Amino acid sequence: MSQELRAISLFFHISATVVWIGGLVITVLLVWPEVNRALAESPSLYRLLLRLRKRFQPLSNISLAVLVVTGLFQMTADPNYNGALNFDNTWSKVILLKHVIIVVMAASGLILQNVISPALERTTLLREKGKG
């Protein structure tokens, strides 16, 4: 595999990592605490949080897809890669641990996007209509 192709793949891999992990960190450390304080004073600000989530969600999902594709490309191009489910060196064990962590994070994101967020949106709508 050419060095140029590996460099392009690595660029997109790192960029997607920055968008995905950076977005999660910013959301948890900056956005959520401030929104929670603001929501205590004005529950209607929940709509702002909803708009922010809807803008970040596609970026997050695209970044995760890019991470998977470029990560597989990078992994198979690495000289330490000895095949699927072959964990005979430290590199392959560390990559396995990294993949387990990514799967847990992605599964958590799917649960948040498809279960928790819709339930919160329904609850908020009911509260706004005086039924909650």
- Give the amino acid at 61: N
- Give the amino acid at 19: V
The residue with tokens 């709508």 is 125
Look up the domain containing 85 and give its range. Answer: 3-128
**Taking the CB of residue 117, how many other CB atoms lie within 10 A of it?**
16
- What total of structural domains would you count in the chain? 1
Q: Which residues contact 63 (CB under 8 A, 6 or more apart)?
A: 16, 17, 19, 20, 23
Q: Quick: pLDDT tens for 18-44.
A: 998 888 888 888 877 777 777 766 666
Q: Quick: pLDDT tens for 39-89.
A: 766 666 677 777 888 888 888 899 999 999 999 888 888 888 888 888 889
